[in-house]
Amino acid sequence: MNITAIIVAAGRGTRAGRGTPKQWQPLGDRRVIDHTIRAFATHPDVGHIVVVVNGDDLDHAAGLASDRITVTSGGDTRTQSVRNGLNCAKGASHVLIHDAARPCVSANVISGVIEALRTCLAAAPGLPVSDALWRGSDGLVSSTLERDGLFAAQTPQGFALEAITTAHASYDGIAADDVTVAQASGIAVAITQGCADNLKITTADDFARAARILGSRMDIRCGNGFDVHAFGPGDHVMLCGVKVPHDQGLIGHSDADVGLHTLADAIYGALAMGDIGQHFPPSDPQWKGVSSDVFLHHAAELARASGFALSNLDATLICEMPKIGPHAAAMRARVAEITGLDINRISVKATTTERLGFAGRKEGIACMATATVVKP
């Protein structure tokens, strides 16, 4: 299947308050719509994404478009906005139509709809209604309703593109969702497993619940690194990107910056992506004498490319000499510059081995480091 996700983001969302339409409001470290787009962008079966926005919101949508994401304007109604999105899905065999205000949709919910589309023209997630249902009038219960066979509708709602495009072309009126359009055209819609966390942000209170759901899904990983370099001829050592005067240098294939090597290895470890030796083999002459900031920058960028943000870095240099304290602030600043991480999330400190072992005998410098990476 060639699947395009159509994210409908043209509504005004006035019940959510805060002035700005809810899809553009902040939710944790990004906007509601950014979480929604990410859910589909990271799904392995979704090839293309169409984001349908209100014509008044084009400034909010600046920067969303890419080789994989198309941004188009919506219509006066949700139904017309979906039709505009379908017009941008040419070349797809199937579409997933999703409300931008559902940022907590999970990969499992998306996969359930896709799997059903392998044998059905249409499928949509639903939650069986478990609460008792009342009909009310003037603040009083007027009657009770049977809940058997009732489902709370969710999105994404999936369709064979040709079938839903034809259904929309013949539909006259405004539909609450695309299942309504499909049914009016005689298309059978399979019900797939919904999820209580797949809430639609409607009121101001929903933002707090959505933030809790997204926060509980954070992928937090820690990695550690350890490295040692022996002293040799020289008049300085490179430590955490800073040139520190000393009566000896450090021996290594690169510039032997034991601090940056260890920090890079800690990041690689958190990502479960090997170590410096695998990414920059010492047998390769192009890395001879190279500045070690190349290694740390690569590790930081690899984390970002994998969807992780660096949370913090902590390095402990182990040596008798040179003294690290006078240079620690400069080292933190340099690591921040290389990684793009805020300096307040970087720690560089030092200790000795009480003159025990190779470090105590001033034969070299060791370093140990920890890195934390987070995928929202």
| Per-residue pLDDT reduced to its tens digit, 96-132 | 999 999 999 999 999 999 999 999 999 999 999 999 9
Boundary residue ending a domain (193, 216, 239): 216
Specify the DSSP element, H or E, that contains 260.
helix 258-271
How would you classify the pairing of strands 364-375 and 46-53?
unpaired
> What DSSP string describes 10-67?
----GGG-SSS-GGGSEETTEEHHHHHHHHHHT-TTEEEEEEEE-GGGTTTTTT---S
pTM of the model: 0.64
Boundary residue ending a domain (197, 216, 235): 216
Same domain, 186 and 226: no
Same domain, 202 and 58: yes
- The CATH number for 273's domain is 3.30.1330.50
Boundary residue ending a domain (186, 216, 246): 216
Instruction: Show the domain range for 210.
Output: 3-216
- The CATH number for 43's domain is 3.90.550.10
Same domain, 261 and 360: yes
* pLDDT for position 29: 78
Average model confidence (pLDDT) for the chain?
A: 94
Cα separation values, 157 from 7, 49, 218, 351, Å: 11, 14, 26, 58
Same domain, 41 and 166: yes
Token match 């209100």: residue? 54
Count: domains in the chain: 2
Same domain, 179 and 321: no
Same domain, 200 and 82: yes
**Is the pLDDT higher at 11 or at 49?**
49
Token match 């249409």: residue? 122
Same domain, 86 and 116: yes
User: Is 67 a residue whose pLDDT tops 70?
Assistant: yes
Same domain, 40 and 92: yes
Same domain, 211 and 241: no
* Rounded Cα gap, residues 232 and 363, in angstroms: 9
Same domain, 10 and 94: yes
* pLDDT for position 230: 97
How would you classify the pairing of strands 122-128 and 133-137?
unpaired
Average pLDDT value for residue range 169-176: 92
Provide CB contacts within 8 A for 189, sequence distance 6+.
120, 122, 123, 124, 157, 179, 182, 183
Tell me if residue 263 falls in helix, strand or coil: helix
How would you classify the pairing of strands 122-128 and 157-160?
antiparallel
Q: What are the tens digits of pLDDT across the range 245-259?
A: 999 999 998 999 999
Q: What are the tens digits of pLDDT across the range 87-97?
A: 999 889 999 99
CA-based end-to-end distance of the chain: 28
Q: What are the tens digits of pLDDT across the range 209-252?
A: 999 898 777 788 999 999 999 999 999 999 999 999 999 999 99
Average pLDDT value for residue range 136-144: 94
Same domain, 195 and 227: no
Same domain, 212 and 277: no
